[in-house]
Structure 1
């Protein structure tokens, strides 16, 4: 039986990855933060490094430390690393974003991510970067989309930027399945593989229109109070770090799925209608959903 070690198994991507690998018949080990990762990785075929500093805390110091730890574990065990990557690296480069897009970050966290990926590439260990947009799942745990949909049961959706701005999203059950399928073909991939997970691209208006189509109800948009984040930034680290990434909510963007289409030609992602239906059910609005419209 193939073995995967998941670092960050209690987090957003890591928890979904652990479930997806288990469902595919892998033996799943969960790394305990603060222990010897190289020791935990003994006998592992794949290491999923989904570990991040919580709440964007001290990224400049902690992300390189986590990266070095994962590289050492992969080198000691011979395992392939699978790392969920972000769109922070691209700044405001022309879209769609893909492996050939210049990495010119316009934020501190983007620069940290660029260096992180350079360290993985230079390490010589086999690495698969699985790059996704904003995370979303069925439990509403995601920082941005989870907050945006907290008022869904009351007919409200929060916008962090322009309501008509199309943005890249990664539905985590799909992205985790992609990680499993990439693990299965890892021997045929380049030593360093940068694979964008195109996922879904939609605007707040698109999502509202889908909610209304599925439920027959009307929803309204509220605005995220960025002014409060600016006021709190001097004393609240998370507010400061979130404010730095505000530009991504006003910048139309999407990921180029051509590389993944070549590697996994039969992979199917969940459509916006089904994802929207999942969110309505989570909000306790299942009775309003028209099943025929989900399938249409």
Structure 2
């Protein structure tokens, strides 16, 4: 089925995915409205992009913001440590608000709901088997969204990524601020599990491009899709970053006990304990459904690594924190 076009998009959230979506949609001539809590962002925006404040926990506000949109991209989320308590009510509010409009909903997701797969490639038809709070939260939200689609409340499509890297991906537990601060200072980076195991990583600009592709295909709605990625290993990613940075990346392995100690001071590392299985077994995403249906447009990894290093050099020299 041929893709359809649209002229107005609303993006809930102005973090790493939201801002990258905004850039790509604006280049394509789509009128974009960014929504976050403050109504401000730290980056200069294209002329046709506006940013407004909005409380997404209020369905009436959601309805007002989404009413003029053809498509809404939902990238907003609570703090990592507050997912179980705050995220399901937020998604319920978004569903209830958007049910009052004709806008379609594209939900940004990850793979936590599946839990450990013991090295088997992760497919969309696998059961939600996570037993930790973050994985269970993701499972509950995905079920809520697809139930709303099945009930005819709102058209929903879910795009699922693996572990992020790329410009603006500052708060990731692996290739974020702490990683590049260490690389640029010539210090060892912290690694988890076995860095030589196959591991799928998602480049944020590629993820945004895949989400836009899903948004434009009628047949995509009503299910979750694993977006295209390149599977390598954590060791290979570190080599590519070192090559781009002009310095070898030194590393030190962090075991579970050390992770607990580091987590006393770095909350996102503390939260990593639930997801440590990702690095103790092969973590490979099966994206064959997406590729067969829509093709795949992926940035070559050396190019993605170079762009990531260049962005973090500037970011860490003149720190720029994303607005929520």
- For the criterion TM > 0.5, the same-fold answer is yes
1:152 equivalent in alignment to 2:183: yes
Residue 24 (structure 2) aligns with: 20
Call closer, same or farther: CA 1:212–1:195 in 2, change over 3 Å. same
Aligned to 1:109: 134
Q: Does 1:178 align with 2:210?
A: yes
- Contact 1:2–1:26 under 8 Å retained in 2: yes
- 1:118 lines up with 2:146 in the alignment: no
- Structure 2: distance between partners of 1:60 and 1:139: 25
1:292 corresponds in structure 2 to none
2:77 is the alignment partner of 1:52: yes
Matched, 1:277 2:309: no
Aligned equivalent of 1:69:
93
Choose from 44, 47, 55 the match for 1:34.
55
- How far the C-alpha of 1:83 sits from its partner, in A, is 0.8
Question: Is the 1:128–1:193 contact (alpha carbons within 8 Å) kept by the matching residues of 2?
Answer: yes
The match for 1:188 among 181, 194, 219 is 219
Q: Which is bigger in relative contact order (C-alpha 8 A, separation at least 6)?
A: 2
The whole-number CA distance in structure 1 between the counterparts of 2:245 and 2:180 is 15
SS at match of 1:97: coil
Distance of 1:224 and 1:279 partners within structure 2 = 24
Residues 1:244 and 2:284 aligned together: no
**CA–CA distance in structure 2, aligned partners of residues 150 and 234 of structure 1:** 19
Match of 1:143 in 2: 172
Task: Identify the range of structure 1 (147-156 vs 226-235) with the bigger mean alpha-carbon deviation.
Answer: 226-235
Q: State the SS of the aligned residue for 1:248.
A: helix
Q: How many angstroms does 1:40 deviate by? A: 0.6
CA distance in 2, matches of 1:238, 1:158: 13
Cα distance, 1:175–1:209 mapped onto 2, change above 3 Å = same
Shift of 1:203: 1.9
Q: What is the alpha-carbon root mean square deviation over aligned residues?
A: 2.6
Residue in structure 2 matched with residue 289 of structure 1 by the alignment: none
The equivalent of 2:107 in structure 1 is 83
Structure 2 gaps, min length 5:
1-5, 36-52, 315-324
2: CA distance, partners of 1:47 / 1:33 = 14
1:239 Cα shift?
A: 5.2
